[in-house]
Every structure is written in C-alpha cells, then in structure tokens.
Amino acid sequence: MKERVVVTGLGVISPLGSTPGELWENLLEGRSGVREITKFDVSGYPVRIAAEIRDFDPVNYLDRKEVRRTDPCTHYAMAAATEAIDDAGLPISDLTPERLGVVLGTGQGGITSLYDQMQVFLDRGLRRVSPFCIPMMISNMPAGHLSINFEARGPNLTLTTACAASAHAVGEAMHYLRRNEADVIITGGTESGIVPISLAAFTSMRALSMNNDDPEGACRPFDAERDGFVLGEGAAVLVLERLEHARARGAEILAELAGYGATSDAHHITAPSPDGEGGARSMQLSLNDAGIEPEQVDYINAHGTGTPTGDVAESLAIEDVFGDYATCVPVGATKSMTGHLLGAAGALESVICIEAIRAGVIPPTINLTSPGEGCNLDYVTEGAREHPVDVALSNSFGFGGQNASLLWRRFA
C-alpha cells in the first residue's frame, strides 16, 4: 500500500489576490489580473501587458535587511509559505526538523536581481556589484531561505523544469512522503520574471499575446483568436503531510494528492509534440498512480496558455486519454485570468483544483468565445459552473518538452 499524502495548508501571492480565498473569489467572478506593466517603462515595447503582483510589501514577511538581500521570487515564496503554514496550523517548533522538508519549483529564479546587478555592472563597474548578487539570483535560494526560516533540515530540493517546475516539485514532494523520508513537505513554486530582458526574450520568440489595447481580454486559451500567453508572477505553496502525521496532530485535511505523472516529449526545445503524446502519457501515469479511471475525473485544470500549438496539443492529449468521455469532463484554463506564472503555475493551479473540490464549483475560462480548430472539449466558459468535483486533474507542460500532471482527490 502506498503511503497516503494529504494537503493541510495553502498559501498564495497572485495577480488576483494575496490569499487563497481572495484568489478564489476573483476567479469565480471571472476577473482578470492582466494590466499594462508598471514595473518599468514599456513605451516602445511590442508587448506592454502582464499580470503583475500589486500592493505587496515583503516587510510583512521578512525584515528590511533580508528584503534588500533577497530577490522578489524569495519574497513571494516566503509570503505564500507563511500563509500555508498558518493555514495548516502547523506547529513548526514541535516538529522534528530532520522530518520537515522544502521542495520548490521556479522557472527563472532570481532573474530580477540578475538583471538589476547586470545594469549596475555595466553602468558603475565591477566593484559596485553586490556581494549578495549570486545568492539573490540562483534558483535554489527561495527553498534555501524557507529551510532556514522554518528550520527544515529534511529534503531541500529546487526544480527548474520551466513551466512544469512547481507541478514537478509537488509531485516529487509526494514521493519523499510516500517513502517516509519526511513527515511534512513545504512545496510549491515561485516566480518574479516580469523584467525587461524576460519580456523582450519572450516577445522575440513570438510567444506572448500582443493585444495591448485589451489587456483583460488578451489571454484566450483554446479560442480561435488566441495569439500567445501573458506573463504573470507570484507564488503558491502547499503543506503536504503523510496522512498518519496529519491525523496524529488533528489537522484539517483539505484534499489528497493521489497521483503524479511526469514525462518528456523528446520533440523540440519549445514546441510541444503536435499530437500531445507526451502530455497524454503524463496524464495517464497520474491516473494509474492514483488507481483512478478517466471517467472518475470531474475537472481538468488545463495548462491552457493561449498559444496556437500548445492548446491544440493539450486538447488532443485529453481526447487520447479520456476517449469518448473527453467531451464530458469540464475543462478550464485559469491562466486566462491569472496570466502564466511560469514555474509557479502548477502550484497555483493545484490550489485552484483543491478549492474546486472543496466548493463544488469550477472557475470559468474567460475570453473563450469561439473554440479554435482542434479544440473540441467541454470548456467552461459561461461563468463559474456548479459541478461536484471529487477528482481534479492539473496539467503543466514546460519548454524542453517536460510534462507533469497532478491528480487531486476529495479526502475520504
């Protein structure tokens, strides 16, 4: 028998809210977090929109000296982790430190600090570069800071599998718990990549929506008029525990992480396999891991970024795995509202799946008015849909052809 793994706490810093409750309310209302970029001057940029974090003060979670010496991706991770631990009622001081771990995902890590310090180097010379530049920019530092702050001396791992990073992190955290190598894992993802070089690079790839005149309508997953994704930022953190440990401390169990699948397309550095073969295997592996049949899935939170090729490949993958049931299972793409949090997307969408299970409501996909060719599923479009959700599947697919699927189940 596999060790059962449950989630007992959630934390979120997102473009649609700084708590899971605030995020959930805005999602159900179909609100978009996409606006014109305010972090830097975007006049002259072909793309001028993103889903930024607003009204966030890291001093609420870190002292001022620590804020100056850490990247925003660490700020977001610390805030979301603090929320999740509080939500779980987790008595950190009572835990065995060696049985508490941290597993996070991020796509770009401390790219904000790298960009800022490169500007210092070019403008003011090498002697003015901060001695904290390296620990601010390297991708494992959010997990490192969480480990130090919460005295977590167990497994400490950072995954950087692009847009699948935090889904992989959650799945690998589950494996640590199943192997009884930890009692509790703080897991999820963080991203703070809305900086000039990142915007310019994604624009050069023609990956981003250029609908600057209608920011809230820019991200259009599965729609015939979709033209790319919208950059987002933020963090989502979940507290995962072995069921035995959660029960022993009387924790409220929010849901169960029942299955995890990870595959590679082995096809192209950025484009998915056109037939969705890798994503299909990822979903099938998560179902097999959980011992769940396709017909038992009540909701799929799609990767659904709004790119012309990616949305078709994912739709084909769902058809492959679910067969005749593919047109019956509700499919939603919440990136239409949150933007694409890159390496933090899988964790954020896991939180959304858990909230859907708890509420029996599926958030809408906004801006989807006419499904494009090859997109033939039951996309939730006409507002939030009341629908019992006992099992929810979340997909995350990253550049490099790296795929992850997480299967969440109502705890019973």
Helix (H, G, I), strand (E, B) or coil at 412: coil
Q: Which of 163, 219, 353, 375 is catalytic?
A: 163
Joined tokens for residue 61? 């979670």
DSSP letters, 291-320, are T--GGG--EEE------HHHHHHHHHHHHH
Per-residue pLDDT of the chain (412 residues; tens, 9 = 90+): 789 999 999 999 999 999 999 999 999 999 999 999 999 999 999 999 999 999 999 999 999 999 999 999 999 999 999 999 999 999 999 999 999 999 999 999 999 999 999 999 999 999 999 999 999 999 999 999 999 999 999 999 999 999 999 999 999 999 999 999 999 999 999 999 999 999 999 999 999 999 999 999 999 999 999 999 999 999 999 999 999 999 999 999 999 999 999 999 999 999 999 999 999 999 999 999 999 999 999 999 999 999 999 999 999 999 999 999 999 999 999 999 999 999 999 999 999 999 999 999 999 999 999 999 999 999 999 999 999 999 999 999 999 999 999 999 999 9
CATH architecture of 258-409: 3-Layer(aba) Sandwich (3.40)
DSSP lists the bridge partners of residue 7 as 240, 255
- Our answer to whether residue 340 is catalytic in this structure is yes
Q: Which of 73, 340, 353, 375 is catalytic?
A: 340
Output the pTM of the full model: 0.97
DSSP letters, 28-97, are HTT----EE--SS--TT-S--EEB---S--GGGTS-HHHHHTS-HHHHHHHHHHHHHHHHHT--GGGS-G
89/70 Cα distance (integer angstroms): 27
283/261 Cα distance (integer angstroms): 6
Is the backbone of residue 266 left (phi > 0), alpha (psi -120 to 50) or beta?
Answer: left
- Our answer to whether residue 303 is catalytic in this structure is yes
Q: Which of 145, 245, 303, 375 is catalytic?
A: 303
**Structural fold of domain 5-248:** Peroxisomal Thiolase; Chain A, domain 1 (3.40.47)
Q: List the one residue out of 105, 398, 166 whose CA is nearest residue 270.
A: 398
Please list the residue range(s) of the chain that carry CATH number 3.40.47.10.
5-248, 258-409
